[in-house]
């Protein structure tokens, strides 16, 4: 099978060194496809040039290819079986025109809870949309979505054997939508230290929440590569939060934490979320809190979930995480056309 993994214009490299969402997913698909025995081409100029020593890299984007051009003829002659792309592209007329000429399958994962697709973007067979949670499946029911847990990878983020870590860790973009202040308050309730890792997207949010400056909080900034993996692996519990009105679509952190062997205590505001899709009794605890409860009540519920999560066996968590969030398994699931 010949697979083309397509980049898109953005501010992050492919693959990104630290923070990133769809970019990390596309890299995981490329790595998984190769591990599953497929031939892989990295399509688009966003892929890091130094990948060329080990990968076939073609710096062309399908939406920029003109009809009848040499680039179009070259793409058609190459003979792709599957293109993997960001979720916007099957609804982009300039992209689908070139894709139609290639006569291959296309697969994508829904990483946005609000993007609206065209009515003809997906047929559930030749063009396939994958969604993480039952919440997302319901949102995109008109497009025949297929349930699948997304896998995300960064460069040099291979996980060493699990250890029983210490303290707590929260990782992600730091803004109000992700609500890390609830994790910080839960840690304070328990008398525990917590490391906050990730880029600050909303400085006003950080200034407004004075608890971020408390002694039990350690800010480690945005991490990538082995430092990011170590920050997760060396924690006793990964703490997951988000705001009441936010919908998590792709959720990279679940796979990242479980593959490193760190169990997860998750705070959610409704049933059917990514946390419930990703976790089981062996890998973490999900605290479902009513949106009507205030932040203090929610933080106390989260603190209880952290306490309940802590006794889990980190080696068992890692074994489950590396099976459930295996890049090769993920690719094979997406490459299989439904009957």
Q: Tens of pLDDT along 137-175?
A: 999 999 999 999 999 998 888 899 999 999 999 999 999
- What confidence score (pLDDT) does residue 67 get? 86
Identical topology for domains 2-155 and 168-322 = yes
What band does 123 get if pLDDT is binned at 50, 70 and 90?
very high
pLDDT digits (tens, 9 = 90+) for 271-318: 999 999 999 999 999 999 999 999 999 999 999 999 999 999 999 999
- The pairing of beta strand 2-6 with beta strand 146-147: unpaired
Tell me: domain 2-155, CATH 3.40.50.2000, correct? yes
Average pLDDT score over residue span 175-201: 97
- Domain boundaries 168-322, CATH class: alpha beta
Question: Over the Cα atoms of the chain, what is R_g?
Answer: 20
- What confidence score (pLDDT) does residue 261 get? 98
Bridge partners for 58 per DSSP = 43
Residue 339 has pLDDT above 90, yes or no: no
- What confidence score (pLDDT) does residue 19 get? 74
Pairs from 198-203 (Cβ < 8 Å, separation ≥ 24): 198/19, 198/171, 198/172, 198/173, 198/174, 198/222, 198/223, 199/18, 199/19, 199/173, 199/174, 200/174, 200/175, 201/173, 201/174, 201/175, 202/174, 202/175, 202/176
Q: Using omega within 30 degrees of 0 as the cis cutoff, is the peptide bond preceding 15 cis? A: yes
- What confidence score (pLDDT) does residue 70 get? 86
- What confidence score (pLDDT) does residue 72 get? 87
Residue 20 has pLDDT above 80, yes or no: no
Residue 189 has pLDDT above 80, yes or no: yes
Note the pTM of the prediction, 2 decimals.
Answer: 0.95
For 213, counting Cβ atoms within 10 Å of its Cβ (0-12 exposed, 13-18 middle, 19+ buried), the class is exposed
Average pLDDT score over residue span 316-332: 98
- What confidence score (pLDDT) does residue 202 get? 96
- On the CB side of 292, CA atoms within 13 Å amount to 0
Residue 203 three-state SS: helix
Provide the percentage of residues in the chain whose pLDDT is more than 70. 100
Q: Per-domain residue ranges for the chain?
A: 2-155, 168-322
Bridge partners for 5 per DSSP = 42, 84
Q: From CA 110, how far away is CA 108, in angstroms rounded? A: 7
Contact 205, 176 (CB under 8 A): yes
Average pLDDT for the chain: 95
- What confidence score (pLDDT) does residue 16 get? 84
Q: From CA 229, how far away is CA 238, in angstroms rounded? A: 12
Average pLDDT score over residue span 67-92: 93
- What confidence score (pLDDT) does residue 260 get? 97
């Amino acid at each position: 099978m010949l697979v083309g993994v397509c980049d898109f214009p953005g501010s992050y490299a492919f693959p990104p060194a630290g923070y990133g969402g769809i970019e990390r997913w596309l890299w995981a698909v490329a790595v998984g496809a190769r591990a599953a025995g497929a031939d892989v081409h990295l399509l688009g100029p966003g892929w890091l040039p130094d990948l060329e020593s080990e990968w076939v890299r073609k710096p062309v984007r399908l939406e920029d290819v003109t009809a009848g051009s040499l680039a179009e003829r070259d793409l058609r002659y190459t003979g792709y079986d599957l293109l993997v792309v960001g979720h916007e592209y099957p609804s982009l007329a300039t992209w689908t025109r070139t894709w139609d000429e290639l006569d291959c399958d296309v697969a994508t994962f829904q990483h946005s809870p609000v993007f609206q697709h065209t009515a003809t973007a997906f047929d559930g067979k030749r063009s396939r949309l994958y969604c993480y949670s039952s919440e997302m499946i319901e949102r995109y029911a008109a497009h025949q979505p297929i349930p699948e847990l997304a896998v995300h990878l960064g460069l040099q983020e291979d996980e060493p054997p699990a250890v029983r870590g210490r303290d707590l860790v929260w990782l992600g973009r730091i803004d109000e939508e992700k609500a890390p202040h609830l994790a910080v308050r839960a840690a304070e309730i328990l008398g525990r230290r917590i490391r906050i890792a990730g880029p600050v997207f909303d400085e006003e949010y950080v200034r407004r929440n004075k608890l971020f400056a408390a002694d039990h909080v350690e800010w480690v900034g945005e991490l990538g590569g082995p430092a990011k993996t170590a920050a997760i692996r060396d924690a006793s519990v990964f703490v997951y939060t988000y705001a009441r009105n936010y919908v998590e679509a792709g959720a990279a952190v679940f796979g990242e934490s479980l593959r490193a062997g760190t169990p997860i205590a998750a705070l959610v505001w409704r049933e059917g979320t990514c946390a419930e899709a990703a976790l089981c009794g062996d890998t973490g605890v999900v605290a479902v809190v009513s949106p009507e409860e205030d932040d203090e009540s929610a933080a106390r519920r989260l603190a209880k979930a952290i306490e309940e999560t802590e006794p889990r066996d980190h080696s068992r968590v890692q074994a489950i995480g590396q099976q459930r969030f295996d890049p090769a398994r993920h690719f094979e699931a997406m490459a299989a056309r439904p009957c």
